Amino acid sequence: MTKRLAAVCASLVFAAACTSQPAPPQAASTSSVQTSTPALPPVALPDLSGMEPSVQQQMRDRSAALTAKIENAGTPPGDLAESYGAVGNLLLAAEYRDAAEAYYLHAQALAPNDMRWPYYLGHVYRLRGELAESAASFERALQLQPNDIAALVWLGDVHLDQGKPEQADQSYTEILKTIGRKGGGPVPPPPAMPAPAQMPSAPIRNVAPAPAGAQLATLPPSASPQDEYDMAYGYVLHKDYSLAEQSFRDFLKKYPNQRLVPEAQYWLGESLFQQQRYRDAAESFLGVSTKFERSGKAPDALLRLGQSLAAMNQKEAACATLAEVGRKYPRASASVKHPAGAPRSSERPGLGLRRPSGSTSS
C-alpha cells in the first residue's frame, strides 16, 4: 500500500462500529421527458430496473439535466440538442436502441447542422438491421461534414452488407483521397468488429494501401470530451474493463480540468476494481473522495474505497471507511450508506465482503 493510502487508512481507524441494514429494492425507472417543441414527440427512459444502480443513476442524472434545460425557456437549441444527444449516447451504449433513436431525433431536429446526430442514428439503424435507413443517415452526416473518415468507413461497410460493393468502393476511395490529402503511410490492420458501444471504429474491407502514417478515426466524429467520456463509459456498460481503464486514463490525461473528471476518476477506479486490482482501485477512489469530496460520485467512491480495502484484507480501515460514508454524506442514498452485504459489527473478522472467486489481495 502506498504511503498516502496507508496514511488515510490509519486516520480512518477509530472506534466506529460497522453496521448494516438491508438496502431498499430498486424501483423501476420510467421517468419521461416532454419537450415544449410541438413538432417533436415525447421521449422516455426505458425500464432501468435490470441495470446496476450506478448505471441507473448515471441515466437519471443525464435525464434530469435534460429536463432542467427543457424547463428553461432560455436554453439555446444547440445546448438542448447536446443534452438529448448525451442521453441518447448512454442509451445506445446500453443497447436501448429504440429509446436512443428518439433522443437522437430530438437532437437532430434541434441542431440540424450538427453531423453527430445523423451519424449516431446511422449506428442505431445499422444495429437494428435497417441498412437503408443507416446508409441514408451516414450520407446525411457526410453532407454536413464531407470526407469525415469515420462516417465514410461505416457507410462503405453498410453498402457491403447491402450487397452493393461498387458503392462501398466509392466510400473507400474517398477515404484514401482524404488520407492522401492529410499525408501519411499505410493504413494499419483493420480493427476487430467492435461491440455496439464502440460505434466510432470500424472494420475496413477491400481498401487499398494509403500513404505512410495514415490514421483511421477511432473516436466519435466530434471527439468532444463528452463523446470521449461516453465511449469510455460504454466499455464499462459492456464489461470490457481493460478498455474502460485505458480510455478513462487517456481521458484524465487529456482533460485534467474538465468537469467530468470526478466521474471519470470514479469509473477508472470501478474498472480497476472489477479487474480485482484493488490497490490501484483504492488509490483512484481515494482521489475522488479527497479531491472531489463534494462531487456526486464522492459518496460512491468512499463506499468503494472501503470495499477495496476489505478486499485487500485491511479490515480495520475498511470498517472505519464504510462507517464514514453515512457520517460524511448523510444525504447519500440508503443503498450507498447501507449497501447490501456490508459488514455488521459481528462480522469484523471477515468484514462480510467476499472477493470474487479467484481473486487475491493486491
pLDDT in tens, 3-29: 555 555 544 443 343 444 333 333 333
HSE toward the beta carbon, residue 144, CA cutoff 13 A? 18
Counting residues of the chain whose pLDDT is more than 90, the rounded percentage is 32
| Residue carrying C-alpha cell 441515466 | 59
Give me the mean pLDDT over the 113-134 stretch.
Answer: 93
Buried/exposed code over 287-304 (b: 16+ C-beta within 10 A; e: otherwise):
bbbeebeebebbbbbbbb
Cβ within 8 Å of residue 95, ≥6 positions away: 196
Number of domains in the chain: 2
Query: What's the Cα-to-Cα distance from 296 to each of 58, 126, 260, 299, 348, rounded to whole Å?
Result: 10, 35, 11, 7, 29
Q: Please check whether residues 162 and 255 belong to one and the same domain.
A: no
Q: Please check whether residues 160 and 58 belong to one and the same domain.
A: yes
User: What was the pLDDT predicted at 214?
Assistant: 34
Counting residues of the chain whose pLDDT is more than 70, the rounded percentage is 67
Rounded-to-integer distance, Cα 9 and Cα 145, Å: 52
Is residue 230 situated within a structural domain? yes
Q: Residue 193 is placed in which grid cell?
A: 468488429
Rounded-to-integer distance, Cα 291 and Cα 239, Å: 27
Cβ within 8 Å of residue 118, ≥6 positions away: 108, 137, 138, 140, 141, 144
pTM of the model: 0.52
Is residue 194 situated within a structural domain? no
Rounded-to-integer distance, Cα 140 and Cα 118, Å: 6
User: What was the pLDDT predicted at 202?
Assistant: 36
Neighbours of 256 (CB within 10 A): 8
Higher pLDDT, 30 or 295: 295
Q: Flag whether pLDDT at 201 surpasses 70.
A: no
Q: Please check whether residues 47 and 126 belong to one and the same domain.
A: yes
Q: Please check whether residues 98 and 178 belong to one and the same domain.
A: yes
Q: Please check whether residues 168 and 227 belong to one and the same domain.
A: no
Taking only the tens place, the pLDDT of each residue in 206-232 is 333 333 333 333 445 556 788 788 878
Report whether 284 contacts 268 (CB < 8 A): yes
Domain boundary among 132, 167, 182: 182
Rounded-to-integer distance, Cα 311 and Cα 76, Å: 48
CATH of residue 234? 1.25.40.10
| Residue carrying C-alpha cell 488520407 | 179
> 150 by DSSP, 3-state: which?
helix
Report whether 179 contacts 211 (CB < 8 A): yes
Question: Range of 90's domain?
Answer: 32-182
User: What was the pLDDT predicted at 230?
Assistant: 80
One-letter amino acid at 166 equals: E
Rounded-to-integer distance, Cα 268 and Cα 245, Å: 5
Q: Please check whether residues 123 and 231 belong to one and the same domain.
A: no
Name which of 11, 241, 253, 221 is nearest 114 in CA terms: 221
